[in-house]
Every structure is written in structure tokens, then in C-alpha cells.
Structure 1
């Protein structure tokens, strides 16, 4: 009987230990994390875009910019191949790094000027811009256009300071249907539409561009500034611009960028003049002030503002970008040590930002934003471009076709 009890006890002990082992093993099993699938796919990407009839290459640009921005930052410069003051045909970024920028910034300003086509200089600038755009596309570079549109009264300036108070009070809202400058504005848009609709590669395919109309509207230096129109008027003109190009002129190779200056610190204020998701592909911000010799505090402030638009873009399945920036070095304004590799880089990368691209403004004969060899901060710029997150033309992926 004792042997039987002893045997039974051993069997019971084995069972109990076996159960405990199973429970222990079960407790430490790590569940497989769920696979997070992006809602934006090559098949449905156009549903998230302004233009549901966008060309395949334009849709691919939206898709690839958005995906690239999750881990990389593409670097560009305005008038990289032609500053209108110095023409070398060789970008300053390439002079310093051996590689061209991955984004070329251009302007419709001279193309739509009242002197074009009567003044041959403006025609020359138009032809140069068109050729640069085509050459950039052939290199895989992205093209973006701003528009320093001259005011409609005299067409002499885009600065509000050059206008009378009465002109400033009604110029912008008069661009709308029923306004005295609506026909004038439509003729300007006709020229833009003609240029963009004829930007074609060697195979006859339309070249996509990014267009950011009426930028830095929260300031008051341009005649479309916040003091000269209501939020409703700004939104209406922006929407009219998109509708006219897309629906009336059937232009389908544009991504539209919303591009205020850096005054916003909350999502609600940033969106106060936002035309809506149906009219915006890229949520941008121009920011020079926070980088104007303000060290780490300025970089931190810039980062917080970029975090704001990055989060908004993620929530809206859009693209975020630093659409203009830079620190201008002149004969009287010296370079700042580590401006590129520390202050700017921290601002565009800290806090898990998803900023697709950064655009520097143009270099001129009197000052530069991007240093060339021989300048004191060229090594700092080179170090910046060598960081793993930074993309120049040599390592940009194919942006105009789906993966």
C-alpha cells in the first residue's frame, strides 16, 4: 500500500510540475506584433490627392514623397541652376558636395510678368526655367514652383509696401469671380496652365511639379498677406486657383502645397486659412526667423512647429515639408558655426518628424544660403549632406514610378 501511495505521489508530482512548466512557458510567450499597413497604396493613392485625375507620374511623386519622408529628407534649392544674377549652369550644392540638389525651385514670376513676351529678357528667363525643369526631371530631380505674382493694379511689385492702402484693401479679393481683377487673374492662370501642360519629357509624358501659390500669407509683406484679406477670401482664392487649373484648364500634373510662414504654434491657428484636404497635397512652412542666429532655442522652436505640421500631415495622409529656409551669409553677416549639421539638422529630425523635403533659398552675388568651396561653413554643409537621413540627387530614389 505504501509503494502504491508512493508511486501515486510521484505521478501526481510529475503532473503538477508539468502543469507549472506549461503555465510558465505560456506566460513568457511574446505575442507577434500586428503588421501596420499603410492606408495609402499605389492603387488608391489618387483618392488622397487634390487631383483624382492626376497623371501616373504625378501620383507616383505624391506616393513616393510621402513614403520617403518617413525616414529621409530630400534637399533642394531655389534657382539652383540659375539665380538670374549669376549663370553657370552648375549648382552651388554640386560645387560643394559633388552632387546636385534633389529638388529644384523655380518661380512663375517672370513667366507671367506683364513684360512677357514683349521684352525678350523675360522670354529668355521663361525658356531657361522650362529647360532647367526638363533637365532636372531627366536627372530624377523634383521640381517645385512658387509664384511672386505682381499686384494687379500696376504689376510692378509683389510687395504690399509698394501699394496704396486702398489697393491693398481690395486687390486680393478682387481676383475672385465677380471681382474687377478676375479676368486679369484668369489670364495669368492661363499662362501658368500653358507652361505646365507643355512640360514634357523626351517621351512626351507630362512632368509633375509642386505648386505653392500665395505663400507666406500669414505675414504682411506680400499683397496677399493676412492684413489684406479675410481667411474666407484667402481660402476662396486658393480654391479658385486649384479649380481653375485642374477643372477648367485640365492640368493634371500638379501637386498643391499650402505654405505659410512660421507664425503658427498650434494646429488650429495653422489651419485657420487652410483650404481643406481636397485642395492641399503638401502641408508646408517657410521658416527663416527661428534659424536667425538663435542657437539651440531657435532650433527647438522650429522643431516644435515642424512637429505640428508633420503630425497634421500624418493624420491627413498628406506630405509635410520645410518649403523655404536658410541663413543668409553676406559680407557683413558671418556664417554660424554648425548651423547646418547641428541646428538645422536637429530641427528637422528630432521628435520623430516626417518632413519630406527642405528647400534653401537662392544664392546671389551679394549673399548665399548654400556655401561654395572657399567659404568658412562649407565643411559644415558637407557634414550635413553626408548624414544618413539627407538625400541629394545622387541617392534619390525613382520618384516618378511606383515601387
Structure 2
């Protein structure tokens, strides 16, 4: 090593220095990196659980068993970290009685996850956590229970930005507006998140959000549930719900983005018994005996024709949006792998067949070319995925029973492992507002989020949090949407295309400096400036950007609190980002 250091000290030719320095770090840096921290379950503090060793393949002196649905039965780890940082947490577990859920609490912040069914011991990704130096506490238990825990592992995390997928829709005949909307979603992926809100007939949640934030969501999410023929047979009246969604989409020069889902009441065989199997809950597996696998197997049968009848009824509504040149983020057959909806009750194979039937019926038979197909995934269940040819975006629905919203990095990481660079990933439903600080820290750049409506969800969010999220500089609302129908409206300039992975942090900023980081395709000289709400220049630096990674720092010591615009200029072109400064 001393010989190599002497060589490095004598080299003054940049190319040689870079090569030898790289050799040095490849050879010796791993030894200096922090080692993983392994927390054996049998060494933790056990509450209502016991150590066992009868199942082979465990680490250490045993594993912990006896977990059930109560979080009171848990194993608790208290440990010291030598340095603060972001750590990736993984859990080695066993599920001898099938798939199970669990609850994880890290320094008081709860999250939940799933242990898939494995033979022997397997490993689950628990997510990423920002941990301080010194004492830390992790507790694991509850969920669905009845699993074994071998150990928890913590490793220093290197979090990449998500890779952008191709701007190619599954429908080659998609309308121009639909293609341009998808292009816009790809352009902002990894740097901004679209604010969304789920709407239902009885409530006016978008109005509620506007009242408490001064903003409309960028994505209005609506449900075609009442158009299900079996609901209409019982007297359901949609009362122009599609027209209401269309009217919202036309706000602000028609820039509103529409998402449509369909809680599909089973076409027939509704149980219609109280208390929880009445006709209006016929989308639940518990409320119907309809066997769609059998219906799909008999294409000449009456039940197969009922499937087509129902899809055709929804096509009537979707055509209203196409007639108004409104693209739709179309999210049917959601949460199938959970099994609680009838379209998931017969397993992955029949579900995928039903998805493909609907895709063909709407796209080819009804010539609906305004649909962007959004598949709602379940964690670590790729066998349910219909296939790239039938899906444009992958979403996940997350409801965590916790007062403090988790960072959702575990769910994000699992989907990125399956779809990074292939599909956009979105938070299609959530019970809690995502925290923008977590999004920036853990790079969980969901394409959009949509909070479920009602007293248990949207209206349970603190109004201060609702206002903060919808006014965050990295959360896009309706008033901030560009005219995405025009090709190149977002990244039309050569400068925007030349600067990829553009990040501005911290944002909101409350320190002495603001940092702009970007990847430049080629060397260039640019001016980076900060401007106040009136357009007056606050501070400015000239930067010589190199090909590759660049960082530019702007001083903030004398900058008062407020909303600013960061401008990167080259000649007559500029790229802008909104920045919030807090003091």
C-alpha cells in the first residue's frame, strides 16, 4: 500500500492519476466501508415470543417464534451505530404456514410489510431508514403473525434515482394527447410527484382539498363503480358522474389529468344478505359466488356474455372521455392478488386472462385509444403481472395503520427491483399523505399519489400537513401543470434535455447553501441564479459544467424566507425549478 501511495504522490498527469486512484479505491476502499450490522433475533429482547432451533438453516444459535396478530408479541433490538446515515434493512424469516404480514417499528416510526411464502428461510426487504449515530431501536411483530424471525441486517444504502422507461405505450394507436401525457409523466419521473385525490359520489374531496390548500390536485381520480350493470339493476343511479369528472378535467385550459378505476360489481350471483354481503358490496369476494374462471373457460356460456356486457357498459363511459380528447389513467381490476375482490378470487392465471380480455375488448373492439393502462401490483408477486404488452404503469395501494406516515421505501424498492427502467411506478392509492421530505431523502419518486376519500383518510390528515404537501415545491398541482397535450411542452429546449437527473436540495432549504446537482451530456458554461417572486435576482454564479456529474452551490446566508425560482441559463435557453427557503 505504501508503494502505491508513493506512486500516486508522484503522478501529475490527470489521466494517469485518475486510473491509479481508481485502482487504489477498488483495492482498498471496501476495507474502509462500514460493515453490515447483523441483529440476531435470539439476542433481542423478547416479549411473548420464544427462541427455537428445530427448523434447519438459521443463523446464530436459533430463531424466534410465537408471533401472532398482536404487536404486543415482538422482538426488540437496541443497538448503537458508529455513524449516522441511510441504512437498508432486510429481514431473514421463515413462513412455514404460508404468506404473512408483519409490523416494523424503527425509532418509533411504524411501517408494515409482507413475508412471501418460502421454503426454508428467505429474505425480505424492510425498507430504508435514516438512522442517527448512537442508540437506535427496532421492534418487529404483529401483522398476520405466525412467522419465524432469524435476524435483521442493516447495510449502508446507496439510493439511485429511478430509471425512466421508454415513452412507448402498449397501445400503438394511442391518441396524440394520450401519448403526450405519457411523455410528460416520463419526463418528470424521478424529479417531481403529481398530487392526486380520489373522489367518490357522496363526497366532494377535491373541493375539500382546494378549501384547505388553495390548490386542486393535478390528478383527479374517479370511480365508475355505479355504472356496473348489476348495481343499476338494484336501482343505483350514477347521476352523470362521468360528466362531473369530464368537467373537472377541463379546468385550467383542460390540463387536469383523469384517473379512472372500477369497483366492478360481479355481473351475477350476488348473495345480497346482511350484514356484509348486500348487493352494493358485490365487488367483494365475500358478497358473491360468481366464478369468473369458469365463465372464462366457457366462451359460449351466459356468464362469459355477462362479462362482455359489463365491459361494454364501461366502454360507453370511457368513450365520453375519448370524445372530449381526455386521456385516462385507466386502473381496472385493482388489488387482485389480495383476493378480497372477486376478480382475484380464482388466482393469478384467470386474473391475467380477464385483464387481457378487457384490454382486447376496450382497445380493439371498442377502439378506445385514450387509455393508459395502470396495473395495481402486490409486493413480491410478479406471477400476477399481466405482461408488458398489456400494462403501461405499475401502481401500488398502501394503507398503513400508523399516525406517523412511513417512508414507503420497502414497497418502492420491491417494485423497482421488478420494474425499474421498464414501467413508471405510482402510489395509486394511499391512506396517508406521502411525506415530500421522505420522497427526496429516499428517492421514492412516485409518478403520482392519490389519497383515499372520507373521514378515515383524506379528512383525517392534519390540515397543516395537507397544505404543506400540496404546496411543496416538488409536488405538482393543477395550476403548475404545463400544456402536456403539446409535444415537447415539458422538455422542449435542448438545455432541458442536456441536463438529466436534475436535483435541487435541500428543498425546502433552511441552511447556508443550496445545491444543484445534474448530469450533463457534454461540457457547457451555464449561469445558475436564484430569483424572488417578483423576478428580482437574489444570487447568481457562473458554472463550467463538465460531461457527467456536476454540483453547483448557491449561498443562502443572506436570503430571507420565501418562494424562489432557481434558473439555469445557457444563452437564450433556461431550465427552472421552484425552491422554498425557510429560516
TM-score (norm 2): 0.51
Q: How many residues align?
A: 324
TM-aligned CA deviation for residue 251 of structure 1? 0.8
- Structure-1 residue corresponding to 2:218: 102
Return closer, same or farther for 1:237/1:206 CA change in 2, 3 Å cut-off: same
Distance 1:76 1:172, change over 3 A: farther
TM-score calculated relative to the size of structure 1: 0.72
1:324 matched to 2:429:
yes
Mapped contact 2:249–2:256 kept (Cα < 8 A): yes
Distance 1:26 1:350, change over 3 A: closer
Task: Tell me: CA distance 1:93–1:220, structure 2 relative to 1, closer, same or farther (3 Å).
Answer: same
Unaligned runs of 5+ in 1: 1-20, 31-36, 328-339
State the match for 1:197 in structure 2: 319
Q: Which residue of 1 aligns with 2:381?
A: 270
1:130-279 aligned at under 5 Å gives the runs 130-139=243-252, 140-155=255-270, 156=279, 157-163=282-288, 167=289, 170-175=291-296, 178=299, 180-200=302-322, 205-225=324-344, 228-261=345-378, 264=379, 269-279=380-390
Q: Please identify which structure carries the higher strand content.
A: 2
Q: 1:376 to 1:244 in 2, by over 3 A?
A: closer
Describe the SS at the equivalent of 1:106.
strand
Residue 54 of structure 1, CA deviation: 0.3
SS of equivalent residue, structure 1 residue 110: helix
Structure with greater helix percent: 1
Cα distance in 2 for partners of 1:229, 1:161 equals: 13
1:62 aligns with 2:167: no
Q: Does 1:314 align with 2:420?
A: yes
Q: Work out whether residues 134 and 199 of structure 1, in 8 Å CA contact, stay in contact via their aligned partners in 2.
A: no
Q: Residues 23-49 of structure 1: CA distance to partner in whole angstroms, max 9, x if unpaired?
A: 63665799xxxxxx9784xxxx3xx31
Which ranges of structure 2 fall in alignment gaps of 5 or more residues? 1-9, 20-162, 271-278, 489-583
User: Secondary structure of the residue that 1:54 maps to in structure 2?
Assistant: coil
RMSD: 3.0
Give 1:51's aligned residue. Answer: 171
Matches within 5 A, 1:281-360: 281-289=392-400, 292-293=401-402, 295=404, 299-300=406-407, 302-316=408-422, 318-327=423-432, 340=433, 344-345=435-436, 348-360=439-451
The CA distance in 1 between the partners of 2:266 and 2:164, in whole Å, is 43
Q: Which has the higher contact order (CA 8 A, sep 6+)?
A: 1
Matches within 5 A, 1:376-391: 377-391=462-476
Distance 1:50 1:39, change over 3 A: closer
SS of structure 1 residue aligned to 2:241: helix
